[in-house]
Structure 1
């Protein structure tokens, strides 16, 4: 007999960046086999999560992460840039430069075809400040420095206002935005789960393996469809 869920148990589902620009064959920044996650994600959307949210990369054309916005247009994927906190130059981090992708109001920023986004309760926009990268659906990396966040979505407050205890994360990509979102979720005090079937990595199988190891080391549970923890969510339908 499976163990009962923890008490209290009020789960939310976060579908991260399931957008056309991350899907082959036409996406500007395609994640290998990204469209394979659509069916598992739609299955999870049929479960009675207390809250279901989808995120979107929602970049202005001038975003700092676009290789095309840097002198000489360095090659994406293999080039980096250093980002300084606008109010504190002592705080900085290095980030990968990417092709132009998920620009606000473009076709590439739309949810992937076949994703049943009508079942989500709302959309969280991320990466909207052109000065900083924001892989996480919660905030940019400066949140964890003395300087504080430059851009935050309000997701932490939204989840806590509803007394959410557990956050399940799926979407794109496992080794970047899914991982960053899950790491912030656990840092903010939520029990955090990543469902393998509902995510794929930019770095393919090796990228997924490395991301999983790093997440597990931080206390994130990485599970598959059929895991008992998802059975707890399904069983909520029978709860009074």
Structure 2
């Protein structure tokens, strides 16, 4: 059987990590040694993704009028700008990962020299884009990255996903990867969640999507 794996490291950026990140995930920096271990393996393609938001991005609480603009708390409805009848519920966040800022940079301790390609996402101010593949709208999709093309062009069969955050961008990227036809595994000990109590629900979604959660010592990573 063909086995041509890719590694996708999701949003390992300053703003998602202590001590100074505006949207810091507890323990976010602690996964870097495991990520560097994964980067040392001979994956056919190694990709790092970056949130790369404009300053006026719709997910920033500060771009909405009070009182319904509390970061982490307020949920808003976003209409598909190309088809207003399609809507999505999304959470508002502090300003994070703005293009060209320190907060948008990948962590310096991450071994970027072993990354083949960097994929930027979240650049359309009108839509939220947790997945590194595309925004969640379907009729039609508004914003797509070139991630699917990179993986298909390289004839990738299996995708291993790690990074931040386990319950948002990692989850959505892994589910979209499975929908693109790749056998998808999340390296659980190389992720951290914004809300660790949500992980039971995340695991249910993985099961429905056919995504497997493994550890860094899993047999599939020894192949």
Could you state the TM-score of these two structures normalised by the residue count of structure 1?
Answer: 0.90
Equivalent position of 2:72 in the other structure: 77
Equivalent position of 2:116 in the other structure: 121
Where do 5+ consecutive residues of structure 1 fail to align?
Answer: 1-6, 233-240
For residue 23 of structure 2, the aligned residue among 26, 29, 41 is: 29
2:145 is the counterpart of 1:153: yes
**1:225 to partner: Cα distance:** 1.2
Alpha-carbon distance in structure 2 between the residues aligned to 1:93 and 1:167:
27
Where do 5+ consecutive residues of structure 2 fail to align?
Answer: none
For 1:212, what is the secondary structure of its paired residue? Answer: helix
**1:213 to partner: Cα distance:** 3.0
Displacement over 4 Å in runs of 4+: none
Could you state the TM-score of these two structures normalised by the residue count of structure 2?
Answer: 0.97
**1:227 to partner: Cα distance:** 0.6
For 2:133, what is the secondary structure of its paired residue? Answer: coil
2:191 is the counterpart of 1:196: no
| Alpha carbons 1:216, 1:222 under 8 Å: kept | no
**1:135 to partner: Cα distance:** 0.2
| Alpha carbons 1:80, 1:97 under 8 Å: kept | yes
User: Residue deviations 1:149-181, cap 9 Å, x none?
Assistant: 110002111111111000000000000000000
2:36 is the counterpart of 1:42: yes
2:55 is the counterpart of 1:64: no
| Alpha carbons 1:140, 1:149 under 8 Å: kept | yes
**1:133 to partner: Cα distance:** 0.4
User: Residue deviations 1:69-98, cap 9 Å, x none?
Assistant: 001261100101111111211111110000
Alpha-carbon distance in structure 2 between the residues aligned to 1:11 and 1:212:
22
